[in-house]
Amino acid sequence: MEIKQHALEGVFEFTPRVFADARGAFFESFSEKVLQQAGIQENWVQDNQSSSSQGVLRGLHFQRPPHAQAKLVRVAAGRAMDVVVDLRRTSPTYGQHLAVALDAEKCNILYVPVGFAHGFVALEDNTLFLYKCSNYYHPAAEGGLHWNDPALSINWGIENPLVSDKDQILPFLQDLENPF
């Protein structure tokens, strides 16, 4: 498995070897040993799955401590532009974002550590998005950041995304009560 460390400290992308033949394909979608090679030691407690039509944007979300979550995300069908924003106040990359194309054919996986807001936009219909979480969902710990914050200038790779009413009213970075 190829391991790539991104410019935002703690964010890793994993690209597995895919074995394909006339019958289909096989790859290892999770290996604790590979994560440990990258210095990642999480206790994964919950798996989530969403299905989205092309243009659906979900995010940018996080959970506040003590319920903060690290995430291991991938696309099982379709393609998505995955975005993370560093919310760690003491980080030299605070307020910076990273966009990574996740593709079911490439089978790439992104590790998002605690302290980041996370979101994605589906680039194809029937995009199936999977994520492992290091903590259970806790409604009272929910937080978010506005997906279209001008200070972030995120290029989502799509015009006029379909965004939930809840995500449309999330705060901008300058107004965020930072939990990290």
Element (H, E) at 177: none
Residue 66 burial by Cβ neighbours in a 10 Å radius (0-12, 13-18, 19+): exposed
* CB 94 within 8 Å of CB 40: no
* CB 55 within 8 Å of CB 121: yes
Whether 61 is catalytic is: yes
The whole-angstrom separation of Cα 180 and Cα 112 is 14
| Secondary structure of residue 116 in the 3-state scheme | strand
The whole-angstrom separation of Cα 68 and Cα 125 is 30
Q: Which of 61, 97, 118, 146 is catalytic?
A: 61
The whole-angstrom separation of Cα 167 and Cα 119 is 10
Dihedral, 58, 62, 67, 72 alpha carbons, nearest 10: 70
Q: Which of 97, 111, 118, 131 is catalytic?
A: 131
Whether 94 is catalytic is: no
Enumerate the active-site residues: 61, 131
